[in-house]
Amino acid sequence: MIVLPFIATLLLLTALVGLIRILRGPTTADRMLAAQLIGTSGVAILLVMGVASGNRALFDVALVFAILAAIALTTFLATARLERQS
């Protein structure tokens, strides 16, 4: 399967772009969105690695990462809302 390494490379490039955006982002929201991009890319990379290797445990790790990313986004939004109200 020659497609899987190509997909993994594209996902790594996407994560690199997100890292650059975290470093250069003018606002906190830009940085949070870039962090979400890196998290999503990480989940996708784990899924590609799980398919390529046949290791089903990587699917579980990807699920945990996706849940943690959702919790992080919810926490960020709640904090931003509280800061805006005060």
Query: Does residue 11 or residue 82 have the better pLDDT?
Result: 11
The pTM is what? Answer: 0.85
pLDDT band at 9; cut points 50, 70, 90: very high
Q: What is the pLDDT of residues 17-68, one digit of tens each?
A: 999 999 998 888 899 999 999 999 999 999 999 999 999 999 999 999 999 9
Residue 62: which residues within 8 A CB-CB, separation 6 or more? Answer: 43, 46, 47, 50
- What's the average model confidence in pLDDT over 74-80? 91
55 Cβ contact partners less than 8 Å away, ≥ 6 residues apart: 49
**86 pLDDT exceeds 90?**
no
